[in-house]
A and B are shown apart, each in its own frame.
Chain A
Amino acid sequence: AQTVTQSQPEMSVQEAETVTLSCTYDTSESNYYLFWYKQPPSRQMILVIRQEAYKQQNATENRFSVNFQKAAKSFSLKISDSQLGDTAMYFCAFMKHGDNDMRFGAGTRLTVKP
């Protein structure tokens, strides 16, 4: 069974600085997808970034980028130039290619301080 671990329950960062959220996962699959979702106080689940396991290049979306280490089964999220609106719960998720259900980590609560 696939498991996703987020070892940092809470983190904080000063506005405009950079923060990295960690995520590790356990799988025997070779073809899969990894995601980071953001859940602000509104509780909406918002897709931040997605990575296909067969791609070696790390995905980036504006201020968000990932460090995908397939051999280490690590998928960290880097947020550059943090903004107050980045304050939210961040969930890492895994999904096997062709599968139906995503496995989520327990989340990291990020607070951006002014």
Chain B
Amino acid sequence: NAGVMQNPRHLVRRRGQEARLRCSPMKGHSHVYWYRQLPEEGLKFMVYLQKENIIDESGMPKERFSAEFPKEGPSILRIQQVVRGDSAAYFCASSPQDVDTQYFGPGTRLTVL
């Protein structure tokens, strides 16, 4: 059973470009969570999605950030017009329905030049 998959593992963007981060949950998991980790800090919750629904986006910046989890395909975290402050590691986690333990992917390290 493959774990949570994230790609790319490393992403470099120039200021003003768009970043698209992908996450495929573990097989059988219908809940996806995105977290951001700044250097030397713990993870901060961004958004929680189920298939075709955003359930809780209370941790996501109101502008430039969006997330989706379509019926088919991976969950996407999209950052438009990136700025240097967006440089961080972005982790995706998934959980089975009605189970609270979240299993994390390897993360995507975004560097904005």
**Which A residues fall within an 8 A CB radius of B?**
4, 33, 35, 37, 42-47, 50, 91, 93, 95, 97, 100-107
A42-B106, A104-B42 known, 8 other contacts, Cβ within 8 Å: A37-B104, A97-B100, A100-B56, A101-B33, A101-B45, A101-B58, A106-B41, A107-B42
The answer to the question of B12 belonging to the interface, with a C-beta cut-off of 8 Å to chain A, is no
**Which B residues fall within an 8 A CB radius of A?**
33, 35, 40-45, 48, 55-56, 58-59, 89, 91, 93, 100-104, 106-107, 109
Q: Which of B45, B100, B102, B107 contacts A44 (CB 8 A)?
A: B107
> Do B42 and A106 touch across chains, with their CB atoms under 8 A apart?
yes
Q: Which of B40, B44, B101 contacts A50 (CB 8 A)?
A: B101
- Across chains A and B, the number of contacting residue pairs, with CB separation under 8 Å, is 56
Q: Which residues of A contact B44 (CB under 8 A)?
A: 104
> Do B102 and A102 touch across chains, with their CB atoms under 8 A apart?
yes
> Do B104 and A102 touch across chains, with their CB atoms under 8 A apart?
no
User: Which residue on B lies nearest to A91, using beta carbons?
Assistant: B42
Q: Which residues of B contact A35 (CB under 8 A)?
A: 101
Q: Which residues of A contact B101 (CB under 8 A)?
A: 33, 35, 47, 50
User: Which residue on B lies nearest to A4, using beta carbons?
Assistant: B42
User: Which residue on A lies nearest to B9, using beta carbons?
Assistant: A43
